[in-house]
Structures are given as structure tokens and as C-alpha cells.
């Protein structure tokens, strides 16, 4: 950025500290200082020579990094866990420990995670109004019927006042079990497991295979790969189209 002036919220997002929206909240709350003075003005302009603190933490821009990661079972999606459970950061190399996941997969689930230090990107991808489709391959106990699929599409109350939706199709039957492809536009906790439990079909295995246009192609379990800048630009274009409400977008 050299010495050109940039908005304070954009500068904060460029450090990976948080998204621009969250930065605006911090600024309005008087938690941001520039050169020792509290700044509460939205749209405040700074240069890269200015010293920015949030609380007592000095923040600086960093190179934005994005990876695709194939999470194995047995690890939670968290930087640390007060219960002492293993996290993905116990097996990821230290070079990516500053990256944060977009969304989560529970301990027993496997599949795609996207991790980055780009706060704006995380907010755009995960914001519920954007409705990025997330695709899962699920093996469930018993044989599901077309009526089960219809019930999931219409919505199932998984908690009091909380309705979960899923678009599902049957891929195969493996003995007495059903293999499904399920697409979610929500991010409710353990959504698929709760929906299928209510229908009487416990989940045997659950793997996320795609998040919007990003998938597991070329990844082995436990492996990660950096997402190239050109691909990131394509993903950002995809997200902008979703934000405008264009639902007929093909993968990029």
C-alpha cells in the first residue's frame, strides 16, 4: 500500500484481525487507536506509517493467504479447546497456524475446510445472507425414502423454533444403509446429524465435499493446498454474484 491513504476499517481487515464490518463495530465502540488517539469516526483515513492498536495489540497488514484443507475425523475445528480435545492445528504445520477456518466441521466429520487470514473473505463466505451452498456426502443408517427427502427440503425443526433445511438426493444403497448427497445453505450446529436423527436414520459418516465453487479435488485426507490468487479472484466474483441474489451461478 506504500503511503497512500486507506480507510481504517480496510486497513484493519488487511491485517487479518477481523472483517471490515467487525472493524466498524470496534471503531464505533472506541476500541481502536491511531497514533495513540482513539478514533471513532467511520471512514477515517490512515497511511501505512500510522500506528494502529486495538486494545493493547499493535496490528499490521500481512500477506493474505488461503488454503483448502481435507480435515480427517477425530479433530475439532478450533485453535484451542478448553476440554483438551485435539484440534486441526495439532496436525496442521505451523506455517498456517495464523489462518482461521470459514465455518466448522464437527469432530467426527471429515472433508473440506477453507482457512485464511482475510477477514473480509471469511465474512463474505460465511455471512448467512450470502447463502453459499455447502455439499456433503453422507452415509446414513437404514433406507431413506423420497418422503424423507421431501421432509428435509420442506424443513425439520431440530431445536425449538429452529428449522433446518436440506436438499438431498440418494446416490446409492450400501446394504441396509443409504448414501446421500446433501446441499445446505444454512450453517446450524450439527444440522445434518440432527435432521437425520429425527427421521430415524443415524449418520454413519459425513464428509463435506464442496463449499460453493471450492472442492476437495486433488487433496488427500489430512493434506492442504494453497489457493492461487487467480482462483481467489474467481471465488470473490462468485460471492459478489450471490450477494446480488443471482442463484443461477455455475461453478468457477
pLDDT tens digits along 166-192: 999 999 999 999 999 999 999 889 999
The secondary element (H helix, E strand) that includes residue 237 is helix 229-243
Could you give the percent of the chain with pLDDT greater than 70? 96
Q: Tell me the mean pLDDT in the region 233-237.
A: 94
**Quick count: other Cβ atoms within 10 Å of Cβ 64?**
18
Q: Where in the chain is the domain with CATH 3.10.290.10?
A: 6-58
Query: What are 87-129's pLDDT values in tens digits?
Result: 999 999 999 998 999 999 999 999 999 999 988 899 889 888 8
Q: Would you say 55 and 49 are in contact if contact means Cβ atoms under 8 Å apart? A: no
- How do residues 48-80 score in pLDDT, each as one tens digit? 788 999 988 998 877 889 999 999 999 999 887
Answer yes or no: CATH 2.40.10.120 is held by domain 6-58. Answer: no
Q: Which residues belong to CATH 3.30.70.580 in the chain?
A: 66-129+213-243
The segment(s) of the chain belonging to CATH 3.30.70.1560 are 134-211
Residues with a known catalytic role: 106
Is domain 134-211 annotated with CATH 3.10.20.340? no
Task: Give domain 66-129+213-243's CATH architecture.
Answer: 2-Layer Sandwich (3.30)
Question: Which pLDDT does position 1 carry in this prediction?
Answer: 43
Residue 248: pLDDT band (50, 70, 90) is very low
Q: CA 160 → CA 4, 121, 157, distances in Å?
A: 51, 32, 7
Amino acid at each position: 500500500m506504500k503511503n497512500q491513504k486507506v480507510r481504517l476499517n480496510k486497513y484493519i481487515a488487511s491485517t487479518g484481525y477481523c472483517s471490515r464490518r467487525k472493524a466498524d463495530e470496534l471503531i464505533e465502540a472506541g476500541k481502536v487507536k491511531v497514533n495513540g488517539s482513539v478514533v471513532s469516526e467511520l471512514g477515517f483515513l490512515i497511511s501505512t506509517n500510522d500506528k494502529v492498536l486495538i486494545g493493547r495489540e499493535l496490528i499490521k497488514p500481512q500477506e493474505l493467504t488461503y488454503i483448502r484443507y481435507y480435515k480427517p475425523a477425530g479433530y475439532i475445528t478450533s485453535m484451542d479447546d478448553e476440554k483438551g480435545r485435539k484440534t486441526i492445528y495439532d496436525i496442521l504445520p505451523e506455517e498456517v497456524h495464523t489462518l482461521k477456518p470459514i465455518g466448522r466441521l464437527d469432530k467426527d466429520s471429515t472433508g473440506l475446510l477453507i482457512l485464511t487470514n482475510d477477514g473480509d473473505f471469511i465474512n463474505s463466505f460465511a455471512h448467512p445472507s450470502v447463502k453459499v451452498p455447502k455439499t456433503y456426502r453422507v452415509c446414513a443408517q437404514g433406507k431413506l425414502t423420497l418422503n424423507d427427502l421431501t421432509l428435509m427440503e420442506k424443513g425439520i425443526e431440530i431445536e425449538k423454533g429452529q428449522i433446518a433445511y436440506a436438499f438431498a438426493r440418494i446416490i446409492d444403497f450400501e446394504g441396509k444403509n443409504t448414501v446421500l448427497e446433501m446441499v445446505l445453505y444454512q450453517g446450524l450446529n450439527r444440522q445434518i446429524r440432527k435432521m437425520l436423527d429425527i427421521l430415524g436414520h443415524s449418520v454413519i459418516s459425513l464428509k463435506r465435499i464442496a463449499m460453493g465453487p471450492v472442492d476437495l479435488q486433488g487433496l488427500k485426507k489430512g493434506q492442504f493446498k494453497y489457493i492461487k490468487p487467480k482462483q481467489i479472484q474467481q471465488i470473490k466474483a462468485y460471492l459478489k454474484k450471490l450477494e446480488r441474489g443471482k442463484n443461477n451461478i455455475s461453478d468457477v
